[in-house]
Amino acid sequence: MITFPWLTTIVLLPVSAGLLIPWLPSRGNHVIRWYALGICLLDLLLMTYVFGTHYNLYDTGIQLKEDYSWIGPIDFHWRMGIDGLSVSLVLLTGFITTLATLAAWPVTRNPKLFYFLMLAMYSGQLGLFISQDMLLFFFMWELELIPVYLLLSMWGGKRRLYAATKFILYTAGGSVFLLASALTLSLWGTNNPVLDFELLSNRSYPLGLEILIYLGFLIAFAVKLPAFPLHTWLPDTHGEAHYSTCMLLAGILLKMGGYGFIRINMELLPHAHAIFAPWLVTLGAGQIVYAALASLGQRNLKRRIAYSSVSHMGFVLIGAGSLSDLGLSGAMLQMVSHGLIGAGLFFLAGTSYDRTRTLFLNQLGAWAAPMPKMFAMFTACAMASLALPGLSGFVAELMVFLGLVTSSAYSPLFRAFITFIEAIGIILTPIYLLSMIRQIFYGSTQIVYNQTDRSELLDASPREIFVLSCLFLPMLGIGIYPDLTLPLWSTKVKDIVSPITEIRPSYQTTLLS
């Protein structure tokens, strides 16, 4: 029996340590950035030790439970716990945040506030993935928005205030639906709120009410994922944010929407999900094609990568809607894979801007000769993003594809239709990624680099090579041996999908199925 509050320590360590930053020496930022990096690395090592020694892969229940009363009159508890859905995303959060902190070393303006906000964001994201209480989940969902907004509005491009305002309006609007649905779910049929996820998973609701609750949660999570048409905040945000912030947004923030959808919509509301699953599959397939076409039309490097993120998140919707173990496992793997790939691409885009002071593809060109290391790393991450066999993106998308094709929940006609749409998106992906590589590294040598001499375009530094190597090695490892990660959630996925597949035949007339 574990008595030490491991999970609480993991969640509170970053923000608690961040409160000490104002008292650190302020001459330069060397001490501050080493301190922030040390805290991130310490928390990552702590969670690795705890999960490695106390987490049971074959136990589908909540493990390492911690339950402390917080606000007695409303039964608001500090409930923590992990299972197959959360453990991989917690580790991903620790890994990406540590590398993003290292990537942020060039930041010199107000570094104390910058690194404190990164540590506060770290705690909020960890808290959301570990929460086992509905109100605590909402609390962490909202708490995480504050540092993100400040990071966007204070460090970034010329239109950063517009991007930050758009981000907060979209996400705060989604939070209204999240809170309303959470309260309805918790208060239905009882005078005392039921907030524990384990208890909520055993409750049933009238079908009409369950559909309304499902839609409320769906809107909130679709904003974060992001899903069409609630995705328009993402390109503006990524286009203006500092690249270390982009790494956190692409690597972790988007996964909060996918995690919330699987944790709440699928696990707690199976009847409604059985009805909406084919619509989600259709939306995901359309999103893959739409965002790929939109990405191809972007001339801003970071906006092109941002739209590619929207496209890749379509596979998460298809996997969640496939109603198969394989498809949902593929959706989980896609979130982990895209977290690594997205963080790598945005880091490369940011370091490229540091050298050329431009993000417009028509102002770039002929990098391959002066910067061969940057060329190799950019190409490697792009290959992972376009799902080259042997890299993580290929395995994730293949699992989602096969999960839908082999699903018995849909008719052959519907599966063939979605497969055709998916195939179009898969063809478009290498087009916009390879054209991006061509425009950056080949083309004319008569490019004007905003007063930057071509001879001053330095190749990747040891720090940059280290960050990208740390991101690429898991992409390669997962691509070659996917069982490095799949056992983390495989048993939990079966528990989520099984009751939905039993319910699905009752609604078989939905859409083309």
20: DSSP letter: T
Instruction: Tell me which residue range forms the domain holding 297.
Output: 277-513
Q: Is residue 298 part of a domain?
A: yes
Contact 94, 251 (CB under 8 A): no
SS3 76: strand
CA distances from 52 to 94, 125, 148, 260 (A): 15, 21, 30, 24
Angle at 399 between CA 394 and CA 405, to 5 degrees: 125
Q: Is residue 54 part of a domain?
A: no
Give the pLDDT of residue 509. 46
Please tell me the distance from the alpha carbon of residue 62 to that of residue 48, in angstroms, as a whole number. Answer: 18
Q: Is residue 428 part of a domain?
A: yes
DSSP string, 77-96: EEEEEE-HHHHHHHHHHHHH
Q: Is residue 492 part of a domain?
A: yes
Contact 317, 227 (CB under 8 A): yes
Side chain identity, residue 489: W
Give the Cβ contact number of residue 270 at 10 Å.
22
DSSP string, 222-277: HHHTT-TTS-THHHHHHHHB-HHHHHHIIIIIHHHHHHHIIIIIIHH-HHHHHHHH
Mention every residue, 6+ apart, whose C-beta is less than 8 A from residue 118.
36, 97, 100, 101, 104, 147, 151, 244, 248
Long-range contacts of 185-189 (CB under 8 A, 24+ apart): 185/134, 185/213, 185/268, 186/134, 186/135
Contact 89, 53 (CB under 8 A): no
Please tell me the distance from the alpha carbon of residue 422 to that of residue 486, in angstroms, as a whole number. Answer: 23
Contact 21, 34 (CB under 8 A): no
SS3 60: coil
Q: Is residue 108 part of a domain?
A: no
Q: Is residue 356 part of a domain?
A: yes
Q: pLDDT of the chain along its 513 residues, tens only?
A: 447 899 999 999 999 999 999 888 877 678 899 999 999 999 999 999 999 888 888 887 888 899 888 887 777 889 999 998 999 999 999 999 999 999 998 887 888 999 999 999 999 999 999 999 999 999 999 988 899 999 998 888 888 899 899 999 999 899 999 999 999 998 887 778 888 888 888 888 898 999 999 999 999 999 998 998 888 899 999 988 889 999 999 999 999 999 999 999 999 999 999 999 999 999 999 999 999 999 998 989 999 999 999 999 999 999 999 899 999 999 999 999 999 999 999 999 999 888 888 888 888 877 888 888 989 999 999 999 998 999 999 999 999 999 999 988 888 899 899 999 988 988 999 999 999 998 888 866 544 444 445 555 778 889 999 999 999 999 999 999 999 899 999 889 999 998 888 776 656 544 444
CA distances from 45 to 38, 90, 234 (A): 10, 12, 31
The token pair that represents 344 in the structure block:
């790598």
Of the candidates 339, 418, 441, the one whose C-alpha atom is nearest the C-alpha of residue 95 is 339
Give first-to-last CA distance, the chain, whole Å. 48
Q: Is residue 218 part of a domain?
A: no
Q: Is residue 152 part of a domain?
A: no
Contact 322, 328 (CB under 8 A): yes
Contact 497, 325 (CB under 8 A): yes
Q: How many domains does the chain have?
A: 1
Q: Which helix (H) or strand (E) holds 70?
A: strand 63-71
* R_g (Cα) of the chain, nearest Å: 22
Please tell me the distance from the alpha carbon of residue 259 to that of residue 221, in angstroms, as a whole number. Answer: 9
Please tell me the distance from the alpha carbon of residue 263 to that of residue 311, in angstroms, as a whole number. Answer: 22
Please tell me the distance from the alpha carbon of residue 31 to that of residue 257, in angstroms, as a whole number. Answer: 35
